[in-house]
Structure 1
């Protein structure tokens, strides 16, 4: 990977802080989920791609057991602790807990940990549903994976360590999609992930298709509590059907016995069951370069999130409608992420990018009159070493 301003900035910040050059620099990307929402924790299917916005960490080994971590994006705020003492959660700052969380998991796994100096910087938009937290967690794990004694850590291993860190230490009961795509992404491709078996299938992004992300600037204030509520409702539905997860319920089973559920739980289950089917179909559509079919599936996904899972909000729905009004049948658009704000993702022909951007800039205004922030992305590579 060629040097980017972000990598140069992180390297320079390390030299300024520690008076020496870093021994290594790693990166881990954020992600956008093209289709497959709230299916990951139901052991289902998802179709994300890594994006060319990332967390970068510059690091150098120390000769003691001290971890010293500097956040270049937060005025060089520093967190310092010893590997020889219990690693505790901090009330503030939150970024420090994601770093501590990964290190805590690695320590408890008995890996040959050693002290490090690290400087962290990133350009993954925060609070937008593009997985800045997973990007950070995977990047921390990737730093250690370069060291002697960590050779056995595969990308999937790193993803699961990062997920465990968020689940157990940070307290976010996330699924494994964000971490897997950040660790395992392949340039130019989406990744169809089976969140139960952890099998992945490369799906090429069609030539001439642009990935557009629109940040609505609707704060995702309800996402944590409502996420946990939706998860509980899905688990309740799975118990009713006597299965491990809603992944094991198909359309026929839902049709035959769905009426036994209360109407709200039925809608939640129906979203997950139909969304898994849409992901499978979307993988086939993308592989065939069929953006029109992909657009139909993305539209149906958004309707399901709006009506059955009830995780969209009016401004997100409006943003989707604006983009759809330009793209029509030549591409697709839907909300992406946990819901209740955040971002909209679109797959559009490159020649329509300017028209879509103009329509959004002219018509959409956020809660305080803001323009949407528009990112035109490419499907990027997963976590790796960018300099030694």
Structure 2
């Protein structure tokens, strides 16, 4: 755990509530290694949690009140009752964090859990706006704080589901389950193969000397909402054409055999999903076997499919992938990660190649705005849970 982050959240708690917390919990951000846009097609994804976290320091209150301060926003305070309707705060961009907290608490209550009041301080170092799920980390950390404070009968999968409900219904973002589930359930040193239909998960070990490199292109993700909705509609149309509940139920042979009169663009969208699902399953096997050459080939094929069939990459992202692939060679791979049209590239590479990758990116890449890329070196982190405070005394 990052000591400066823990120091910061403890200081915020002490300054705001004139006390020491009884518990501190963490929840990590995430990056998806492979399996893009497969989640809403009931398919497979292979994310890993990263060692950037949201921390929540907490103590119980004897009244039905939640007081929460955000260390990252100058100790802004929000206060709301849990024995009255919990409603969103609107009209203040700098208060957006409040609705993730309120929405998560409401989802817990709506699920039948009897909550006590609490005082909370929140601090995080998950880069915001980089597609690394800072919002999911916040939601999961809030739910984890109440679970730990009250010893609630709440599985980590249910925490993820309630956090997703909070984002879908309270915040208003129609995200899938992947971000919250990896934050809640990941295992240190492992990626997590998630079946987005059953929510079954399998931990997949990452080789010891491999780092996860995340490169933010500094290209602001445009068109994501409208294009996301269009891609989703195209996938649903393809599934209906093939007579299956979701594209997850189709293999490549079936895709080609019953192509018929399907629109060419819709066919290419479906081909990405069908092949990406298989790549994700193959990638889990390659990683488990420590076969970085195979993993790299699958990541490269995933990027080509996103570029040509799903059409969600942009030239600066393609350029970043090319730079990284040249540095990594056959010892790993790189691909766009996230919804598309900007955002981040993820790479798996040996620790020994990190310096060369940094140098190549610095020398060969600038965003259209002229900005340099932001580079984050990560390792697969454990999922949400309490932190032993005595270990940091």
Residue equivalent to 2:255: 254
> How far apart, in 1, do the equivalents of 2:176 and 2:215 lie?
23
Q: How does 1:115-126 map to 2 (within 5 A)?
A: 115-126=117-128
Q: Does 1:289 align with 2:310?
A: no
Residue equivalent to 2:5: 6
In structure 2, stretches of 5+ residues that fail to align are none
- The Cα shift of 1:3 comes to 6.2
Q: Does 1:70 align with 2:89?
A: no
Q: Does 1:113 align with 2:115?
A: yes
Does the 8 A contact of 1:33 with 1:48 survive in 2?
yes
Cα gap change, 1:249 to 1:163, in 2 (>3 Å): same
> How far apart, in 2, do the equivalents of 1:25 and 1:144 lie?
11
> How far apart, in 1, do the equivalents of 2:195 and 2:33 lie?
15
Does the 8 A contact of 1:31 with 1:178 survive in 2?
yes
Residue equivalent to 2:56: 57
- The Cα shift of 1:90 comes to 1.9
Range 207-216 or range 236-245, more displaced: 236-245
- The Cα shift of 1:101 comes to 1.1
- The Cα shift of 1:166 comes to 1.1
Residue equivalent to 1:306: 307
Range 83-92 or range 336-345, more displaced: 83-92
The two structures, once aligned, show a CA RMSD in angstroms of: 1.3
- The Cα shift of 1:55 comes to 0.5
- The Cα shift of 1:88 comes to 1.2
- The Cα shift of 1:331 comes to 1.2
> How far apart, in 2, do the equivalents of 1:221 and 1:64 lie?
44
- The Cα shift of 1:220 comes to 1.5
Cα gap change, 1:37 to 1:124, in 2 (>3 Å): same
Residue equivalent to 2:161: 160
Residue equivalent to 2:97: 95
In structure 1, stretches of 5+ residues that fail to align are none
- The Cα shift of 1:79 comes to 1.6
Does the 8 A contact of 2:31 with 2:132 survive in 1?
yes
Q: Does 1:317 align with 2:329?
A: no
> How far apart, in 1, do the equivalents of 2:330 and 2:368 lie?
29
> How far apart, in 1, do the equivalents of 2:88 and 2:228 lie?
22
- The Cα shift of 1:228 comes to 2.2
- Matched position secondary structure for 1:41: helix
Residue equivalent to 1:141: 143
Residue equivalent to 1:207: 208
> How far apart, in 2, do the equivalents of 1:301 and 1:280 lie?
12
Does the 8 A contact of 1:127 with 1:220 survive in 2?
no
Q: What TM-score do you get using the length of structure 2 for normalisation?
A: 0.95
- Listed one character per residue, the Cα deviations across residues 166-202 of structure 1 (whole Å, up to 9, x for unaligned) are 1111121111111111001111111111111111111
Does the 8 A contact of 1:66 with 1:115 survive in 2?
yes
- The Cα shift of 1:387 comes to 3.5
Q: Does 1:179 align with 2:173?
A: no
> How far apart, in 2, do the equivalents of 1:187 and 1:69 lie?
29
- Matched position secondary structure for 1:146: helix
- The Cα shift of 1:59 comes to 1.1
- Listed one character per residue, the Cα deviations across residues 20-48 of structure 1 (whole Å, up to 9, x for unaligned) are 11111110000011100111111111111
- The Cα shift of 1:84 comes to 1.8
Cα gap change, 1:130 to 1:209, in 2 (>3 Å): same
> How far apart, in 2, do the equivalents of 1:224 and 1:121 lie?
28
- Matched position secondary structure for 1:130: coil
- The Cα shift of 1:334 comes to 0.3
Cα gap change, 1:323 to 1:149, in 2 (>3 Å): closer
- Matched position secondary structure for 2:150: coil
Residue equivalent to 2:245: 244
Does the 8 A contact of 1:323 with 1:333 survive in 2?
yes
Q: What TM-score do you get using the length of structure 1 for normalisation?
A: 0.97
Residue equivalent to 1:274: 275
